[in-house]
Amino acid sequence: MNLQNKVAIVTGGGAGIGRAIALDLASHGAEVIVVDRRESDTVIDEIKIMGRRALAVQADVAVFAQAQNAVAAATANFGRLDILINNAGINRDGVVWKMTEEQWDAVIDVNLKGCFNFIRAAAPVFKEQASGKIVNITSINGLRGKFGQANYAASKAGLIGLTKTVARELGKFNVNVNAVAPGMIETEMAQAMPQEAKDNALTETVLGRLGQPEDVARVVTFLCSDAARHITGEVIKVDGGQYI
């Protein structure tokens, strides 16, 4: 999969799935802008070792203006933008009768509004150049729901609707818009979850193992390549059969 001369933004690219995506895109030739609230110099250094250009942008995806600024920084520094990966996400779990307004708003603002913010910023660029790839990282829990995750599941379900709508709107401009729905992946977020939740996920997974960030990254890279040029509006599960 050749991504030479392609420029990609990866939100939440400083760690976990986002880091794996940024590195995998770079390994196939892409130049990468890593957007994260945290310092992401380590990922940038790894990309530069591959001989690719990279830029770190500190931003809160939930803030509309910061998304606009991040996309502007990409085009200013690299002259174009070809790929947008909306990966940034958080969880604030709790059963619905105890969930606070803050827990609800925080998750919706990052996981759903944050994706809209970046799509809104990138869409005019993609329209103008009549090409682009958008991949949104949703979750199998956005497809099925999950006890204790009303906010998270709702945000990820909303992201699926956003994906399909934007695929319809941007298709005539030669822009592919897809979503990847991981199951339980061994990341920092997963490590912070109760052991019982991880054990239950492992029991659900028919392959008998939890996924690794690289499992998701490889599917994302495929969707960003010409090999997937006739795929749009799809949701691809990467879950080892956990959803079955």
Active site residues: 152
CA separation for the pair 41, 220 (Å, rounded):
22
42-43-44-49 Cα dihedral, nearest 10 degrees: 90
- The tokens for 105 are 């708003």
Burial of 9 (C-beta count, 10 Å sphere; 0-12/13-18/19+): buried
Short-list 223, 26, 3, CA closest to 133: 223
Q: Are 220 and 24 in contact (CB under 8 A)?
A: yes
Distance set, CA 83 to CA 122, 132, 146, 192, 220 (Å): 9, 6, 30, 30, 10
Distance set, CA 206 to CA 190, 191, 240 (Å): 19, 21, 6
CA separation for the pair 39, 202 (Å, rounded):
32
Q: Are 19 and 43 in contact (CB under 8 A)?
A: yes
CA separation for the pair 39, 129 (Å, rounded):
31
